[in-house]
Amino acid sequence: MQAYTNPKRTPVFRLITIAAAGMSSFVIGLWGIRFGFGEQLGGMSAHVLGGIIASLCALAASLASLSFFAGVDESATFVHNETQVDKLTGLHSRQAMIGRIASAAAATVQDGKPVFLIDIDIDRFKQINDAIGYTQGDELIRAFATRLRDHVPPGSEIGRIGAGEFAVLVPDGRATSIDRMVEKLIEKMVEPYRLTTHLQSVNLSVGMVAMPKDGRDPIVLLRRSNLALQNARASGIGNWSVFHPDMGHLAEYRQWIEAELHAAFQRGDFHLHYQPQHDLATGAIVGYEALLRWRHPKRGVIPPSEFVPVAEETGMVVPIGEWVLRKACADLRTLPEDLSIAVNISPVQMMTKDFIQRVRAVVAESGINPSRLELEVTETAMMQDRERAAQVMRQLTEMGISVAVDDFGTGYSNLSYLIDFPFRKLKIDRSFVDRIDKDNGGAVVSTIVGLSRALGVRTIAEGVETEAQGTLLRAAGCDVVQGYLYGKPGPLAVVGLTSDPAPATAMVH
C-alpha cells in the first residue's frame, strides 16, 4: 500500500545513517580539541573536556537524525492515511484505487487474464443522508463497507470512491461467472441495514468494465464503469449493466437534462396532463391522475422517465413536485365535487423533513377538501425508511388525504410491510395488466385483488389497453381502471368529463 519506503531496506539504512552522523560529529569534536584548545580549562584537561564535547556532539547528531527519520515516518504515515485510506471505512481511497486499477490493468496486459472493475453506487445517497442525518449516514456507509468486504471474492480490492460510491476490482476472473457473482453481491447488499435508530433499505446501481477489453487507463476505466452504472440507473430494467461504447451519448444527454432542469422550471416549461380513472362497476370517471410533462422550447416533449430520475438525483424534484401538487389542487377546484386527483410523489420528496408541512400548506391554500386528493407513493419510497414512511403516511391519512401504492408488485418489498402502512389503494402495475391473459398473469392479479380485500383497501389497475384486459380485470374484482383503452393523458380541457368508459378517440398524449 505504501509507496514511500522499502520496509526491508529502511531499518539498516537508518542505523548506518544515524551511526555515521554520530561518528562524524565525534571526529569533528576531536578535531576541535586538537586545534581549538591547547590549555587546561578550569582544572579540567583539554582532552577530557574535548572528549565530553565530542560525545555530546555525537549524541546530539544521533538524536537529530533519529528525530528527522521519525518525522519522515510520521509525515509519510500521515500523507498515506490522508490520501490512500478512506477514513470512514478504512477501505482504499479513490486515489489509492486508481493506483490499484493501473497495476491490475498492467498485469492483465502481461498475463492476459481478465480483471473486472465494478462500480457500485447507493441510489440517492445524498437524499438519504439529508433525511436520516449525517451520523446515521456515516453509520450506513460503514455497515455497507463491512458487508461489501465480507461478500466480494477473495483477493478483490475495494475502494470508496464517492460519498455512497464504491469500486471493486475482481482479479484474474476468479469468480467462475462474473454475472452470477455481481447478481449475488447486489442481492446481499440491498438487504436492509440495522442502524442505531432504524432499519435502512437502499437501492443500488452497478456498472462494470472488463480489462483489458474496455481500456487500460484507470481514469478512463472508472469513467466507463460509471457510465455503465448511470445506464443501469436510467434504464430502470435491473440495476446493473456492462459498459458499451454507446453509453457516452446517454451520459451527455443526462448531463444536458441536469443543466437544463432549473431553467426549464423557471421558464415554465412544465405542465400537467390528466388521465381519467374509471369505476369498473358504474363506468363513471371517479378521478384523474396528474402526470407531469416537460415541453422544451427546442427539443420538444421530454418524457418523465427521462427527467424525473435526474430531478431526483439533483433534488430538483422537490420544488417541481411542490409545483405539481399546487397546480393539481388548483385544477381540482375546477372539477365537480365528486371527482378526485391523484398526484405522484417521489421518494425524495416524501423523505424531505418538511414534506407534511408543505402538503398541509398547499392544501390549505387551495381550499380543497383533502379527501379529494390522493398521493401516489411507490414501494421503494416506503421501504427506504419504513418507520419514517409509515409516519408520513399516517399523518397524510390524519389530514384526510388518501394514499395509493403505485406500481405495486415491482419493488423489492416484502408483503408483510403492507400491514404497517396506512393506505387506501393498491395500484396494480401495468406489467401485470399486460400479462393478465398470459401465463399466470391472471392468477397474480386475482391474488393482488384478494390481498387488497383482506386489507380493506381498493384496487386500481393501470395501463389497461385492451377490451380483454378490462373484462378480465372486472372478473378479478378490480375496482378502478386507468389506461389508453379509457383515455390517454391530456390537458384537463381535452380529457373531458365523460362518464362513458369507451375507448379514447381524440385524446392528446
Where do the H-state alpha helices sit in 85-122?
94-111
Q: Do the beta carbons of residue 279 and residue 249 sit within 8 Å?
A: no
Least spacing, CB of residue 477 vs Mg ion, in Å? 20
Least spacing, CB of residue 164 vs ligand C2E, in Å? 21
Does residue 406 interact with Mg ion by CB under 5 A?
A: yes
Q: How many Å is the Cα radius of gyration of the chain? A: 33
Q: Which does 137 bind (CB under 5 to 8 A by kind): Mg ion, ligand C2E, none?
A: none
Among 376, 379, 385, 479, binds Mg ion (CB under 5 A): 376
Among 262, 465, 474, 477, binds ligand C2E (CB under 6 A): 465
Q: Which range touches Mg ion (CB under 5 A), out of 218-226, 236-244, 303-311, 372-380?
A: 372-380
Amino acid, res. 266: Q
Which residues between 100 and 129 bind ligand C2E (CB under 6 A)?
none
Does residue 463 interact with ligand C2E by CB under 6 A?
A: yes
Q: Which range touches ligand C2E (CB under 6 A), out of 17-25, 40-48, 79-87, 481-489?
A: 481-489
Among 209, 308, 359, 404, binds ligand C2E (CB under 6 A): 308
Closer Cβ to Mg ion, 102 or 339, answer by number: 339
Least spacing, CB of residue 348 vs ligand C2E, in Å? 8
List the Cα angle 207/306/412 in 5-degree steps.
55
- How would you classify the pairing of strands 199-200 and 193-194? antiparallel
Least spacing, CB of residue 283 vs Mg ion, in Å? 22
Closer Cβ to Mg ion, 185 or 480, answer by number: 480
Q: Cis peptide leading into 212, omega within 30 of 0?
A: yes
Chain centroid to CA 312: how far? Answer: 10
Among 89, 108, 127, 275, binds ligand C2E (CB under 6 A): 275
Say which residue the cell 397524510 belongs to: 396
Q: Which range touches ligand C2E (CB under 6 A), out of 80-88, 388-396, 459-467, 468-476?
A: 459-467
Cα distance between residue 87 and residue 93, in whole Å: 8
Does residue 291 interact with ligand C2E by CB under 6 A?
A: yes
Least spacing, CB of residue 2 vs ligand C2E, in Å? 49
Cα distance between residue 459 and residue 272, in whole Å: 24
Supply the DSSP string of 129-191, one letter for each residue: HHHH-HHHHHHHHHHHHHHHHHHSPTT-EEEEEETTEEEEEEGGG-SS-HHHHHHHHHHHHTS
- The phi-psi region of residue 243 (left if phi > 0; otherwise alpha if psi is between -120 and 50; otherwise beta) is beta
Binding site for ligand C2E (CB under 6 A): 275, 291-292, 303-305, 308, 317, 321, 324, 344, 346, 376, 406-407, 430, 462-465, 483-484, 489
